Structures are given as structure tokens and as C-alpha cells.
A = this chain, B = another copy of it.
């Protein structure tokens, strides 16, 4: 065993089962569900040090540490979670889960459907929303004896869940961290999601979502969906620096094999992703993104939606994020300010585009640490707006 000193080390996921019907926003009912959960650190006596981590489109409960001694990669946010790290597991009890509709152990399209002879749900799994997820996360909190989270944190789609927490359960979180997110998707965001969905839906191996029962898999569709998604996660500048117009063989080949390095990278990313992710889950995740709009129940006013929030907010955006631009984060900040809510906002100068939220960029990590440490009103920097 030789994990880094600031790693949470070996971790074991735990399944929480909820044997009660769950009413969903779409008016359908899930008869029962499981949540796959990982925790890092210790819950203190008065349950006041718990932090919830909400995952993004392709995320899951494995946010930090290692599942096996020979794992090459740690959890997806290991850069920020661990003893002494920004989300300090020597101080905080950190909870990460896989959301329902997911494909990493929580109830989702690959789970048995009790209402259909325990065959995989497949396309019969309901379309869940960010509100639904937050509701199940609140049920998990109850089960864990956590009345109030010290903080709820998420990036991208995870940031939407953090935001929704502050709206739906205002007294159940002290702090809310919304990173690289948006109060709702733009037409262009939806358009990219639609291309990803059509890639999967139109793959002949999709079989209307019943590929598992047909011993099939819409691999091509999932590869395409991930490729197009991946372009939107990286900034143009990051792509330029990473690949430029570099050729794989040094010369034009005048064929359709990989010529440019960026093609090689995208194909590899798509291929890798398609091995580990469920296509129906991908569809569900993109729909949850599209549907997210907390202002919908508040006369289309984000200000009204956030009027009753009680927590302190940290909103973070990244300069080169063109999927959810800094302007979109600023809409959240504006809504909070107009409600006189406590909010710190940082637009971090970073080159990695939307993906920046996964990287340990010094100012970002520092601000996260400071906000969680109690210094909500960060020292002013040139990039700080509020």
C-alpha cells in the first residue's frame, strides 16, 4: 500500500436501499431505489461537519481515494478531497453518491425493474430531474442522521444540484458551492445535448433502449455523444495548446484514419467512455440538464427562486468555459445579490475550459478551502466581483 499521504486511501462504496415509493417530477413513481455512496473522513458528534458532493454528467460516488491497491487512478475529484486538501477529510465528513438514473450502482436503467419481472429497466426508467436527485439526497441525509449539511458542493450538473438544494431545503445547508454551472441551459447547450441524444437514439444497436435484452450495445452512438460532449468541455485554447494542428504521422495521409492528434484524442476518449457508461443513463443525464430551471416554479424569476435561501454561497466560473460561460454563473450571483444574500464569486483564469472545475487550479482550490474554512468573504482579488 503506497497511496499519497494526502489521499483518503482505500475506500469501499456502500449501498443505501430505500424500500419506499419515490414520487418523481414526471409524475411517475419509482417503487424502490438504491443509492451507492462513498464517505471520507469522520462525522463529528453533532453531525455538523458533513459535506455533500454532487456529481456531474458522467460522475458517480467514487469521488476520492482508491477501490483497489493497484488502481491507477483515484476518484474523479481526488484533487480536492483528502486529508489537508481543499475539502479536508481530516476536518469534514464527505459524502459522495451516484444519483438515481446513473449506472454506477444506484438504481438506474441497468437495474432490475421489479414491475417487469426484474428485467433491466432500460428505456422504462423514468426521466429524472435535478429536483428528484436533490429529494433522494435529502432522504439519504435523513438516513445518515445529517439534519443540515455544512456544505453542498457541485460542478456543472453537480452545481445545479447544489443550487437546487439551497432552493428546496433552505434550512438544510449552511454553505453552497456552485462551480462552472448555470441557472438553466441555453438553446446552444440543449442543441449539443440533442446531437448527443440523436447519436444514441439513431444507433441501430440502441433497439429503442432495450439493447441489454437484445444482447447489443449502442457503442457507436455513445462514442459520438461523448466526442461532441468532449469538444464542449475543452476550451479552444486548451485544444490548441494540447494538439494544435499536429499530425499523427507528420504528413497528410489523404484518408479517414486518424491524421490530426486531436482526432486521435477524441476517438480515444469516446472509445474509453463507451466501455464504462450506459447509453440510457447518458440520455437521462442530458435530459436532466435540459430540464433544469429552478425559476420555472417561480414565475420564471431566478431572483424569486432564490429569495428564501438561507445559506452562504460561493459561485465559481472559469474564464475559458464556453459550455457554461462566466456570464451564466453571474446570473446566479446577480439573483443572490438582488436578494441581499451572502455570495462570493470568483471567475478563475484557467485554460482548461469547462473541465477546469476538475483541476486543482491554485486560486480555485484556495478559494474553496477558504470558503469552507469559514472565511466566506474571500480577500479581494482582481478577479473577484463580489
Report yes or no: B254 in contact with A195, Cβ–Cβ below 8 A.
no
Q: How far is the CA of A185 from the CA of B260 in the complex (A)?
A: 11
Copies of this chain, count = 2
When the two chains form their complex, are residues A227 and B194 in contact, meaning their CB atoms are under 8 A apart? yes
- Report if A338 contacts B (CB, 8 A): no
Q: Are A199 and B224 in contact, CB atoms less than 8 angstroms apart?
A: yes
* C-alpha spacing A84/B41, complex, angstroms: 76
> Nearest Cβ in chain B — how far from A249, in angstroms?
14
Tell which of B192, B203, B259 touches A290, judged by Cβ atoms closer than 8 Å.
B259
Chain B residue at smallest Cβ distance from A300: B245
What distance in Å separates the Cβ of A288 from its nearest Cβ neighbour in chain B? 11
Q: A26-B254, A240-B186, A256-B197 are in contact. Are A231 and B191 (CB under 8 A)?
A: yes
Interface assignment of A306: CB less than 8 Å from any CB of chain B: no
Task: List the B residue with the shortest CB-CB distance to A198.
Answer: B224
Instruction: Give the most central of A126, A187, A255, A266: most B CB within 10 Å.
Output: A187
Does A244 count as interface, using CB distance less than 8 angstroms? yes
Complex Cα–Cα for A293 and B202 (A): 35
Given that A199-B224, A254-B127 are known contacts, is A194 also in contact with B245, CB under 8 Å in the complex?
Answer: no
When A198-B267, A224-B199 are in contact, do A187 and B127 touch as well, CB less than 8 Å? Answer: no
Does A37 lie at the interface of the complex (its beta carbon under 8 Å from any beta carbon of B)?
A: no
- Give the distance to chain B from A244, nearest Cβ to Cβ, in Å: 6
- Tell me whether chain A's interface is mostly helix, strand or loop, or mixed: helix
Produce 1/0 per residue, A182-213, CB < 8 A to B. Answer: 00111110111011011101111000000000
A210 CA to B69 CA, complexed, in Å = 50
| 227-269 of chain A: CB within 8 A of chain B | 227-228, 231, 234, 236, 239-240, 242-245, 252, 254-256, 259-263, 266-267
Cross-chain contact of A283 among B199, B242, B256, B287 (Cβ < 8 A): B256
Q: Are A198 and B184 in contact (CB under 8 A)?
A: no
Chain A 29-55 against B: per-residue CB contact (8 Å), 1 yes, 0 no?
000000000000000000000000000
Are B227 and A198 closer than 8 Å at their CB atoms? yes
Question: In the complex, how many angstroms separate the beta carbon of A21 from the nearest chain B beta carbon?
Answer: 18
Q: A228: which of B185, B228, B236, B283 is its contact (CB, 8 Å)?
A: B228
CB distance from A302 to the nearest CB of B (A): 13
Minimum CB–CB distance for A277 against chain B, Å: 17
Residues of B contacting A224 in the complex (Cβ-Cβ under 8 angstroms): 195, 198-199, 202, 224
- In the assembled complex, how far is the CB of residue A66 from the closest CB belonging to chain B, in whole angstroms? 32
Q: How far is the CB of A94 from chain B (nearest CB, A)?
A: 32
Given A187-B243, A190-B263, A194-B260, 12 other A-B residues pairs in contact with their CB atoms under 8 A: A26-B254, A186-B240, A187-B244, A188-B240, A190-B245, A190-B262, A191-B262, A194-B227, A195-B266, A198-B227, A198-B270, A203-B220
Identify the 9 closest CB pairs spanning chains A and B, nearest first: A26-B254, A187-B239, A202-B220, A187-B262, A187-B243, A127-B254, A194-B263, A188-B236, A191-B231
